[in-house]
Amino acid sequence: MTLTSHHIPAESSVPYDPATVEHKWQERWQAQRASSPDLDNAERRFYQLMMFPYPSAEGLHIGNLFAFTGNDIYGRFQRLQGHTVFEPIGFDAFGIHSENYALKVGIHPMELIPRNIENFRRQLRRAGLMVDWSRELSTTDPRYYKWTQWIFVRLLENGLAYRKKGAVNWCPECKTVLANEQVIAGECERHPGVKVEQRFLEQWFFRITDYAHRLLGDLDWLDWSESTKSAQRNWIGRSEGAEVLFDVPGGERIAVFTTRPDTIFGATYMVLAPEHPLVATVTPAERRAMVREYVERSTKKDLVSRKVGEREKTGVFTGAFAVNPATGAHVPIWIADYVLMEYGTGAIMAVPGHDERDFDFARQHDLPIVRVVAGPGESADTPIDGITHHDDGTLVNSGAFDGLSVQEGTRRIVEWLAERGAARTVVNYRLHDWCISRQRYWGPPIPVIYCDECGPQPVPDKDLPVVLPFIADFRPDDTGVSPLARHEEWYRVACPKCGTLGRRETDVSDTFLDSSWYFLRYPSTEFDDRPFDVARTKRWLPVDQYIGGNEHAVLHLLYSRFITMVLQELGYVEFEEPFKKFRAHGHIIREGAKMSKTKGNVVNPDQYIEEWGADAFRTYLMFLGPFEEGGDFRDRSISGVKRFLDRLWASVHEADASAAPEDAVMRKLHQTIKKVGEDIPRLSYNTAIAAMMEYMNVLRASERTPRRAEVEPLVQLVSPFAPHIAEELWERLGHRRSVFDSGWPTYDPSLVVRDTVEIAVQVNGKLRGNVTVSREATQDEVLAAALATPAIAKFVTGEPKKVVYVPGRLINIVV
- Residues from 657 through 686 that contact RNA (CB under 7 A): 675, 678-679, 682, 684, 686
Residue 501 makes contact with RNA by CB under 7 A: no
Residue 812 makes contact with RNA by CB under 7 A: yes
* Binds RNA by CB under 7 A, chosen from 484, 689, 729, 777: 689
**Going along 364-445, which residue ranges are E strands?**
373-374, 394-395, 423-429, 434-435, 437-438
Write down the least CB distance from residue 59 to RNA, Å.
23
Residue 693 makes contact with RNA by CB under 7 A: yes
Residue 231 makes contact with RNA by CB under 7 A: yes
Write down the least CB distance from residue 173 to RNA, Å.
18
- Residues from 538 through 557 that contact RNA (CB under 7 A): 550-551, 553-554
- Backbone torsion region of residue 387, taken as left when φ is above 0, otherwise alpha when ψ lies between -120 and 50, otherwise beta: beta
Cβ closest to RNA, residue 132 vs residue 337? 337
Distances from the Cα of 80 to the Cα of 69, 76, 708, 720, angstroms: 16, 6, 21, 9
Residue 215 makes contact with RNA by CB under 7 A: no
Cβ closest to RNA, residue 429 vs residue 522? 429
* Binds RNA by CB under 7 A, chosen from 690, 709, 751, 793: 690
Residue 802 makes contact with RNA by CB under 7 A: yes
Residue 804 makes contact with RNA by CB under 7 A: yes
In the chain, what are the helix, strand and coil shares in percent, each to the nearest 5? Answer: 40, 20, 40
* Binds RNA by CB under 7 A, chosen from 758, 775, 779, 784: 758
Cβ closest to RNA, residue 298 vs residue 482? 298
CA–CA separation, 295 and 384 (whole Å): 31
* Binds RNA by CB under 7 A, chosen from 32, 158, 234, 596: 234
Please state whether beta strands 756-763 and 630-633 pair in parallel, antiparallel, or not at all (unpaired).
unpaired
Write down the least CB distance from residue 271 to RNA, Å.
8
- Picking from 717, 162, 733, the residue whose alpha carbon sits closest to that of residue 434 is 162
Cβ closest to RNA, residue 30 vs residue 596? 596
Residue 809 makes contact with RNA by CB under 7 A: yes
Write down the least CB distance from residue 765 to RNA, Å.
3
Residue 631 makes contact with RNA by CB under 7 A: yes
Write down the least CB distance from residue 647 to RNA, Å.
5
Distances from the Cα of 721 to the Cα of 200, 577, 607, angstroms: 53, 30, 19
- Residues from 146 through 205 that contact RNA (CB under 7 A): 180-181, 183-185
- Residues from 56 through 95 that contact RNA (CB under 7 A): none
Cβ closest to RNA, residue 33 vs residue 794? 794
Please report how the helices 708-718 and 723-732 are oriented relative to each other, as an axis angle in degrees rounded to 10. 150
- Backbone torsion region of residue 121, taken as left when φ is above 0, otherwise alpha when ψ lies between -120 and 50, otherwise beta: alpha
CA–CA separation, 757 and 775 (whole Å): 6
Write down the least CB distance from residue 744 to RNA, Å.
16
Write down the least CB distance from residue 115 to RNA, Å.
30
- Residues from 399 through 428 that contact RNA (CB under 7 A): 428
Write down the least CB distance from residue 260 to RNA, Å.
5
Q: What sections of 659-707 are H helices per DSSP?
A: 663-679, 685-699
- Residues from 568 through 597 that contact RNA (CB under 7 A): 592, 594
Cβ closest to RNA, residue 150 vs residue 633? 633
Distances from the Cα of 409 to the Cα of 215, 384, 459, angstroms: 31, 20, 55
Q: What sections of 60-169 are H helices per DSSP?
A: 62-80, 96-105, 109-126, 142-157
- Residues from 337 through 396 that contact RNA (CB under 7 A): 337-344, 346, 348, 351, 355, 357
Q: What are phi and psi of 82, to 5 degrees?
A: 100, 10
Write down the least CB distance from residue 127 to RNA, Å.
20
**Going along 461-535, which residue ranges are E strands?**
492-494, 501-504, 508-509
Cβ closest to RNA, residue 146 vs residue 561? 561
H-helix or E-strand containing 307? helix 303-307
Residue 241 makes contact with RNA by CB under 7 A: yes
CB 316 within 8 A of CB 291: yes
* Binds RNA by CB under 7 A, chosen from 219, 329, 570, 760: 760
Q: Is the dihedral of CA 88, 546, 126, 515 positive or negative?
A: positive
CB 63 within 8 A of CB 602: no
